[in-house]
Structure 1
Amino acid sequence: MVKSGGKSGKSKGGKAGTGGSREMHVRVKTARGRTISSARWLERQLNDPYVQAAKRDGFRSRAAYKLQEIDDKYHFLKPGARVVDLGAAPGGWCQIAVPRVKAQEGRGQVIGIDLQEMESIAGTTLLQLDFMEEGADEKLKELLGGEADVVLSDMAASSTGHRKTDHMKIMALCEAAAWFARDVLAEGGVFCAKVLQGGTERELLEDLKRDFTVVRHVKPKASRADSAEVYVLATGFRGRRGEEANGGEETD
Structure 2
Amino acid sequence: MSRKGGSGGRSGRGGLHERVKTARRRTASSTRWLQRQLNDPYVRRAQAEGYRSRAAYKLIELDEKFGFLKKSRAVVDLGITPGGWSQVVRKANPRARVAGIDLLACEPIEGVAILEMDFMDDTAPAALIDALGSAPDLVISDMAANTVGHPQTDHLRTIALAETAADFAVQNLLPGGAFVAKVFAGGADRTLLTLLKRHFTTVKHAKPPASRKGSPELYVIAQGFKGRSDAAEAAEAEESAR
**Common topology (TM > 0.5):** yes
Alignment pair present for 1:57 and 2:49: yes
CA–CA separation in structure 1 for the residues paired with 2:184 and 2:72: 31
Written as runs of structure 1 = structure 2, the 5 A alignment for 1:61-100 is: 61-79=53-71, 81-100=73-92
1:101 to 93, 96, 103: 93
Paired residues, what number?
A: 232
Q: 1:209 to 1:79 in 2, by over 3 A?
A: closer
Which residue of 127, 130, 133 maps to 1:139? Answer: 127
Query: How far apart are the structure 1 equivalents of 2:163 and 2:13?
Result: 41
Give unmatched runs, 5+ long, in structure 1. Answer: 1-13
Give TM-score, length-normalised by structure 1. Answer: 0.84
Decide whether aligned partners of structure 1 residues 16 and 95 sit closer, same or farther in structure 2, where only a CA change above 3 A counts: farther
Q: Does 1:225 align with 2:213?
A: yes
Q: 1:73 to 1:141 in 2, by over 3 A?
A: same
Deviation at 1:205, TM superposition (A): 1.6
**What is the identity, as a one-letter code, of the residue corresponding to 1:43?**
Q
Percent identical pairs in the alignment equals 51
Q: What residue number does 2:102 align with?
A: 114
Alpha-carbon deviation of 1:101? 2.5
1:236 is aligned to 2:228: no
Cα 1:64–1:32, aligned 2, differ >3 Å: closer, same or farther?
same
Report the Cα distance in structure 2 between the residues aligned to 1:73 and 1:248, rounded to whole angstroms: 31
Match of 2:34 in 1: 42
Q: Find the residue that maps to 1:187 and give its secondary structure.
A: coil
SS at match of 2:176: strand
**Which of 199, 209, 220 is the equivalent residue of 2:197?**
209
The Cα of 1:125 is off from its aligned counterpart by 1.1
Residue 246 and residue 165 in structure 1: after superposition, are their counterparts in 2 closer, same or farther (change >3 A)? closer
Aligned equivalents of 1:152 and 1:36: distance in 2? 35
- Note the alpha carbon deviations across 1:198-237, whole angstroms, 9 max, x for none: 3662431232111111000011110011211110000001
Q: CA RMSD in A?
A: 2.2
Q: Look up the match of 1:167.
A: 155
Q: 1:184 aligns with which of 172, 175, 196?
A: 172
Distance 1:200 1:210 in 2: 14
Tell me the distance in 2 between the aligned counterparts of 1:143 and 1:229: 29
**Which residue of 128, 138, 142 maps to 2:116?**
128
Q: Deviations over 1:139-172 (max 9, x none)?
A: 0122233321000000112221222221111111
With normalisation by structure 2, the TM-score equals 0.88
| Cα offset, 1:83, TM superposition | 0.5
Distance 2:158 2:86 in 1: 21
Mark the CA change 1:102 to 1:207 in structure 2 (over 3 Å): closer, same or farther.
same
CA distance, structure 2, for counterparts of residue 159 and residue 188 of structure 1: 34
* In structure 2, C-alpha distance between the alignment counterparts of 1:33 and 1:20, rounded to whole Å: 31
